[in-house]
Amino acid sequence: MDINELRDFRSSSAEEFFQFVAGEFLAAGSFWLGIERAITVPVFYTDPLFWICVVAFLAGTVIAVFGYRQMHRRKSRIESIIGSARPDESDSST
């Protein structure tokens, strides 16, 4: 594996990005639906949909955090490998 392949892998982290986006979508949707249920239902803490929203918000947050951490860990690991590479292995543009 050469340095150019690592640079390509660093810039193409689609799986981690989509994991982050899916988690954010789930968290945001459940948050606003939970707020709506808390405002419109007289005794919202007995409403099952409100508690489903709470669980979905927590799950979406966990998915988003792990996606972000995985993406950041991958990029920083690849950057450390590129940074520690010998100059004669890198391309001439850097």
Phi, psi (rounded to 5 degrees) for 10: -65, -35
Percent of residues, the chain, with pLDDT higher than 90 = 47
pLDDT at 5: 72
- Model confidence, pTM: 0.72
pLDDT at 48: 94
What is the rounded CA–CA span in Å between residue 3 and residue 86? 10
